[in-house]
Amino acid sequence: MPSVTAVLIANRGEIAVRIIRSCRALGVRAVAVYSEADADAPHVRLADAAVAIGPAPARASYLDVAALIAAARASGADAVHPGYGFLSENAAFARAVADAGLTFIGPPPAAIAAMGDKVAARTMMERAGVPVVPASGVLPPDAGAFASAAAVTGYPVVIKAAAGGGGKGMRIVREATALPDAIRAAAREATAAFADGRIYLERYLERPRHVEVQVFGDTHGRLVHLGERECSIQRRHQKIVEETPSPAVTPELRAAMTEAAVRAARAVDYVGAGTVEFLLDQHGRFYFLEMNTRLQVEHPVTEWTTGVDLVREQILVARGAPLSFATVTPRGHALECRLYAEDPARQFLPATGIVHVLVEPAGAGVRFDGGIARGSVVGVEYDPMLAKISTWGATREEARTRMLAALRETVLLGVVTNRDYLRAVLAHPAFVAGATHTEFLAAHFADWRPGPGAERARVAIAAALALTSRAVGDSESDGARRAAASPFATLGGWRSGGTAA
């Protein structure tokens, strides 16, 4: 039975922090790795040990297989958790980990490889009786070949990377004339993101919902599902709001989708945590999209409703333990919002800066998974997701109103985030009604701009003082100020004991 007593976490940010927490509760040593940019990141601070693995660019650090395996060996780790992103769906990495005598906390390399080739996976799913969207095989990056294939599936079509995932390398095409540009861009993005430029085409479904099923297998042949998640709220194919259960999934549909998901996972002898993604069309038909052979960003909503700690379960399964549950009985409703360093009013441009203040939301039914702290530098090297906020409620409405309250509580000063955009999404009548689909943001929020803050006049007065005086953080030290007798320092030259007019 594999020993898992010390886990090297081959990742950074919130997911590294999240994995450390489950390791600690299990009494397993957590070893962090960090690039030069992350030397004082929260995941480094929280771990039992931390190993420097290279300079800031991911290619030279978090994607450097040799450096990661050397770090595992140097730190005495006997297992590796890849998190999501980076090398989490890289079969070669999983094999390299095993070859180094370490336990890979994830599915067998063969399952990763089988699902990693999106075209081959599609064929396999068709054979396993899992419904798939009409599509071509891999095509040469040539407008003629794509035009012929599109004529078979019908427009609109979407061009996708064969090695892809997460929206990288995807291009929607509504007419033949747009094919050449889209082919070029998709191939380039695919090469950049996956070092594999192969692309293909499939029928594009209008306004479908993105509904996925969490599955879990153990090494004793048991394979179960943990219900679905709806992740339709996407900007540029990037999920930003997720929930479980889906407002659109009836018990009958759930039975069919979860059965199909388990069938899909069984087709690749799946072990560990995985997610089978479907598109659900407006007629209640669902189609296999892809299987993510790793922990999903949005896994907390499933943890809320099922009570299963998915990372803990991953570690136990990696040790050879049977699944700790036979079936799950989800309770209530859970939502997740992803907090990104980006400006939704400016085409979601990534934002950079320093986290000068961070107030995390808390309280009943609120969970904050963060990878930043006061003083963190948000740069361009990595994914701009800073944190995830998830809420639970006995009903969807309770979870939703808690989320609105939690987002209001979340204060991050120094970096532009999508916080207020998320608040607007959660407050939109169509979201309240559960009328969600993958074009939701494009349909309702294309021209979103933040409203003017209600207190902007008085804020402007304070800002004028702060911007023109040297009073803010320039004069005394914190310690000296705190030691002063008066609880409030009088501002700059604006000493006054007067009352409001």
Partner 1 sequence: MSVIVLVDGEPLAVTIAHGADGLVGRVGDVEYRGTIRRDGETWRIELGERVLLATVVRAADAVWIAADGEIYRCVLAAEERAAAGTARVATPRVTAPMPGKVLEVVVAPGQRVAAGDPLVVLEAMKMETVASAESAGVVTRVHVSVGAMVEPGQLLVELDPS
- Does 21 bind its own copies (CB under 8 A)? Our answer is yes
Residue 371 CB, shortest distance to partner 1, in Å, is 15
Binding test (CB under 8 A) with its own copies, winner from 4, 9, 22, 254: 22
Nearest to 416 by CA among 459, 375, 386, 452: 386
Q: Are the C-beta atoms of 381 and 37 separated by less than 8 Å?
A: yes
Choices 110-118, 219-227, 371-379, 427-435 (CB under 8 A): range interacting with its own copies: 371-379
Residues 282-311 that bind its own copies (CB under 8 A): 300, 303, 307-309, 311
Residue 497 CB, shortest distance to its own copies, in Å, is 14
Selection from its own copies, partner 1, none that 101 binds (CB < 5 to 8 A by kind) is: none
Nearest to 134 by CA among 148, 116, 149, 145: 149
Q: Between 387 and 426, how does the x/- string for binding to its own copies read (CB under 8 A)?
A: -----x-x---x--xx-xx--xx-----------------
Nearest residue (CB) to partner 1, 189 versus 303: 189
Say how far apart CA 35 and CA 236 lie, in whole Å: 28
Nearest residue (CB) to its own copies, 161 versus 399: 399
Residue 225 belongs to what H/E stretch?
strand 223-235
Binding test (CB under 8 A) with its own copies, winner from 127, 283, 482, 495: 482
Say how far apart CA 111 and CA 320 lie, in whole Å: 17
Residue 490 CB, shortest distance to partner 1, in Å, is 6
Selection from its own copies, partner 1, none that 327 binds (CB < 5 to 8 A by kind) is: none
Provide the H-helix boundaries in 117-245.
118-127, 143-153, 179-194
Residue 27 CB, shortest distance to its own copies, in Å, is 7
- Does 326 bind its own copies (CB under 8 A)? Our answer is no
Choices 78-86, 92-100, 194-202, 469-477 (CB under 8 A): range interacting with its own copies: 469-477
Choices 24-32, 94-102, 181-189, 239-247 (CB under 8 A): range interacting with its own copies: 24-32
* Strand arrangement, sheet containing 385-393: 286-292, 272-280, 209-217, 223-235, 238-244, 333-340, 385-393, 366-370
Nearest residue (CB) to partner 1, 273 versus 355: 355
* Phi-psi map region of 138: left, alpha, beta (phi>0 left; psi -120 to 50 alpha): beta
- Does 474 bind its own copies (CB under 8 A)? Our answer is yes
Say how far apart CA 157 and CA 308 lie, in whole Å: 38
- Does 491 bind its own copies (CB under 8 A)? Our answer is no
Kindly tell me the sign of the dihedral angle through the C-alpha atoms of 211, 396, 333, 344.
Answer: positive
Residue at 57: amino acid letter: P
- 3-state DSSP of 370-401: ECCCCCCEECCCCCCEEEEEEEEECCHHHHHH
Nearest residue (CB) to partner 1, 50 versus 94: 50
Residue at 460: amino acid letter: A
Kindly tell me the sign of the dihedral angle through the C-alpha atoms of 391, 217, 92, 139.
Answer: negative
**Interacting residues toward its own copies by CB under 8 A:** 17-18, 21-22, 24-27, 39-40, 46, 300, 303, 307-309, 311-312, 324, 331-332, 354, 356, 359-360, 362-370, 373, 375, 377, 392, 394, 398, 401-402, 404-405, 408-409, 472-475, 477-480, 482, 487-488
